[in-house]
Amino acid sequence: MSRECCGPDEGVSVSIGRRPDLAAGGLSAANELPTDLDEHDEHDEHDEHDEHDEHDELAPWWRDRALMLPVVSGVLLAVGFGLEWSGVGWPATVVQGASLLAGAATFVPGAVRRLLRGKLGVGLLMTIAAIGAVLLGHVGEAAALAFLFSIAEALEDRAMDRARHGLRALLSLIPETARVSRLSGEVTVPAAEVRELDILVIRAGERAATDGIVVAGRSSIDTSAVTGESIPVEVGPGDPVPAGSINGSGTIQIEATADGRDNSLTTIVRLVEQAQARKGERARLADRIARPLVPVVLIVAALIIGFGFLVGDPGLWTERALVVLVAASPCALAIAVPVTVISAIGAASRFGVVIKSGAAFEQLGAIRTVAFDKTGTLTRNKPSVVAVASVEPSASAQVVRLAAALEANSTHPLAAAILAEAPKHPTASDVTEEAGNGLAGIVDGITVHVGSTRWLNPGVLTERATAMETRGMTVVVVETDGVIAGVIGIRDELKPEAADAIRDLDAAGLKSVMLTGDNARTAAALGAEVGIADVRAELRPQDKAAAIEAFSGVKPTAMIGDGINDAPALAAADVGIAMGATGSAAAVESAEVAFTGTDLRLIPLALAHARRGRRIMTGNIVLSLAIIVVLFPLALFGVLGLAGVVLVHELAEVVVILNGIRAARGRKVLPAA
């Protein structure tokens, strides 16, 4: 049963099956935090399923036990209608009854439990509708409603299960062991046993077991898996190193600033947990409307029966009470949302937008603010040489060739950018690497040094180097025989369609925001180039999540990203959108919407599609409620009998279904706000 529609069966928590040592310690606080979810004692069918998931990967949909009953219900329903159309009487009713039982088993028990706890929802309304239809002899209609509702709820549950599984990718970035420097020498200990102030020794290619500050050595660290930033960061004494980052070529020692069980990565997991728990309590629009409807209908039906006993004609008024109950039953209302959502989500998938739940679809259509991560979302995530300045105006090509000769011996991402610019370069000899600074070697008898501005002073090219940094570039200095020869600017360029996508969003009245962990100068330069005025730079994952929560407090907000550092913000947003199949698993699973491609023009297209679907869904709900409002007095005063009420309900359902199917048609342009 869906936690969003019918209510949570238990407290929402995330199972971290791969790293129980870290989950037991670093995540314990997350499970102790209070939430609005108060139904912690219903464990029924989910207990075995969740326990199984704790140790295994998510099963394919065709092996998902939660989908079995809805599938069985659908098959039996099709067979039952086939028998009915062929003129077979009671066998068709028996098969339809079996379909009803299979579908109803997925939500009726939960609806009854919630009723006993004083909570109402669409599940109870569906139960009432099914009972009313059966009492009227329309078993097939009751079975159809039960099937549609049960399959929608099963798909909602599967989306939540996928989100829980995605979080396991986060803690896998932390190594199993860490090398700690003691007075007696270096010792290897489990990562979970690392304590604050321990001195960790991290050699080339190793990951940091926890957060720390460099106390000895220089190197470059690759934080792309953690922060999403593609260019490695040069670090030396006093510089921070986040948990899960990969050390470059030099050995460094860091002083742990967090325990192995409680670092930045476990904090990210905890933030995602909390955000998902908050979102689990959100009810569907139809559910919010239906809650006050149930007690009113039941009370009125009871009063009608009581009135019948008072006037001495209980049989007549009991029949009218039953007609009223059926007239006010939410047959069309229960279908109004699922049929629209299924149609719209299916259509979205055809142009590369995967929407994971009905709730996400509803929210996507209401978005007014769109927040973008920078690296890999707005940019290509492929650093390239974009500017070269040399002391000798005609020597720019030679500067790049000399740099490429040395960088051919490096695996640094900046080296790949320089090599791509000068694939034909001379061969360097006696190449040595200054960890965290750069390279030195001999090229055609010339002593060449290539490195950062921290290691090599740009000298007469200082102004040019500063200008490059202002334009969002990383600067590499080239020195020959002790004299500055030139500087090379490397930048992760914006995607070509980025500016068009932002313009389309602006035209639709949507606000665009950039959130990034990059430095302020680079972020501001790229923001101005793409057309985003509101740029928030130098943000940690926690800061991004806090910013998203602030935006969501004003207007419905979507967060778009692809890195692990985006996971808390994706989960905290009204709608999290993960870009590209190559994005991190944590980002994809923390998001409610995932784009199979990386074309940013999908964003305005998806928002336009969701807006249209939301309008259709709202129209369906209004129509469904209008049917109830019209039929209620007609049934109460005997203008319509049972057959007439059922006929109107059937016609209303057909209209609602046909209208909902219109959501399958996608739009090619972004409508004005």
Coil, strand, or helix at residue 51? Answer: helix
CB 373 within 8 A of CB 561: yes
Phi, psi at residue 411, to the nearest 5°?
-105, 10
At 206, the amino acid letter reads E
Q: What sign results for the dihedral spanned by CA atoms 527, 612, 623, 305?
A: negative
**Angle at 433 (CA atoms; ends 429, 438), nearest 5 degrees:** 110
Query: If we measure between CA atoms, which residue out of 285, 361, 351, 352 comes closest to residue 665?
Result: 351
For 500, counting Cβ atoms within 10 Å of its Cβ (0-12 exposed, 13-18 middle, 19+ buried), the class is middle
* Rounded CA separation 82/9 (Å): 36
Residues with active-site annotation: 373
Sheet with 483-494: list strands edge to edge: 379-390, 483-494, 474-480, 446-452, 438-443, 428-434
Residue pointed to by tokens 């989950």: 23
At 491, the amino acid letter reads R
CB 488 within 8 A of CB 474: no
**DSSP assignment of 334-389:** HHHHHHHHHHHHHHHHHTTEEE--HHHHHHHTT--EEEEEIIIIIEEEEEEEEEEE
Query: If we measure between CA atoms, which residue out of 531, 529, 570 comes closest to residue 549?
Result: 570
Contacts of 52 (CB under 8 A, 6+ apart): none
- The alpha carbon of residue 508 and the mean position of all alpha carbons in its chain are separated, in whole angstroms, by 23
Q: Which residues pair with 354 in a beta bridge?
A: 594
Contacts of 638 (CB under 8 A, 6+ apart): 320
Kind plus residue range of the DSSP H or E element containing 146: helix 139-166
Q: Which residues pair with 214 in a beta bridge?
A: 254
Query: If we measure between CA atoms, which residue out of 10, 75, 11, 15 comes closest to residue 45?
Result: 10
* Rounded CA separation 286/359 (Å): 11
Contacts of 282 (CB under 8 A, 6+ apart): 4, 359
* Rounded CA separation 417/414 (Å): 5
CB 325 within 8 A of CB 121: no
Query: If we measure between CA atoms, which residue out of 177, 237, 232, 194 comes closest to residue 213?
Result: 237
